[in-house]
Structure 1
Amino acid sequence: MEIKPIKNETDYQEALQEIEALFDASINTPEGQKLEILTTLVEVYEQQYYPIEPPSPIEAILYHLESRYSDVSVLIEGLKRRGVSEEIMKKLLRKV
């Protein structure tokens, strides 16, 4: 594959296929350099056409708790001790 700008979905899919073929290329080789360039082009294209929105603060907190196998009730008790409003805690519980 010739390295070129990714301007449409076809270019994007071709670049992904080439990346997959080059995935195990060693660094500092022509294949490794091609892989690095293609991944950069794909990242730019994805940022423009497939942006990932950041989570809401509550979603981020819940993910953090879930990923550490922590219980929401522990968080809520801590929030109560720190004077966090009931409204915030209700929003948090609705997401659970």
Structure 2
Amino acid sequence: MNIKRIKIEDDYKKALDRLEEIFDAKPDTAEGDELEVLGILIDQFEQEYFPVDFPDPIEAIKFKMEQMGYTQNDLANIIGQKGRTSEVLNRKRKLSLNMIRNLHKK
């Protein structure tokens, strides 16, 4: 096991390749320990060089509506009146806690 800090993208690619090779390693083995340490190093590198922002809630709702084949009327049945739904989707009204809870349930 030759583990070192991931400093550049080439190191990152090599670490990903090695992680893939030992992905099914059993815990409490040399390869299992290596897998765990590589995962931590890769995660640290990704957080520093490839940060991921939180998704925009309205875009997430629109994406999920598209996935589920929902219309604006379907969404209105979940979060309230049709006009209110339009305002939310057009960013003229913020989501209320009650709307968020109803979306989560559905």
TM-score clears 0.5: yes
AA at the equivalent of 2:25: A
Following the alignment from structure 1 to structure 2, what is the Cα–Cα distance between the partners of residues 5 and 55? 30
1:79: Cα distance to partner?
4.3
AA at the equivalent of 2:70: D
Residues 5-35 of structure 1: per-residue CA shift (max 9 Å, x gap): 1111111111111101111111121101100
Change (3 A) 1:21 1:89: closer
- Greater relative CO, 1 or 2 (CA 8 Å, sep 6+): 1
Following the alignment from structure 2 to structure 1, what is the Cα–Cα distance between the partners of residues 89 and 37? 46
Tell whether the 8 Å contact from 1:76 to 1:89 is kept in structure 2 after alignment: no
1:88: Cα distance to partner?
2.9
Q: Name stretches of at least 5 consecutive residues in structure 1 with no aligned partner.
A: 92-96
RMSD (CA atoms): 2.4
- Aligned pairs, how many? 90
Provide the secondary structure at the position in 2 that maps to 1:36: helix
In the superposition, the TM-score normalised over structure 1's length comes to 0.75
Q: Name stretches of at least 5 consecutive residues in structure 2 with no aligned partner.
A: 92-106
AA at the equivalent of 1:53: D
Q: Percent identity?
A: 39
- Residue 51 of structure 2: aligned partner: 51
In the superposition, the TM-score normalised over structure 2's length comes to 0.69
Residues 8-65 of structure 1: per-residue CA shift (max 9 Å, x gap): 1111111111101111111121101100110110011011111122211111212333
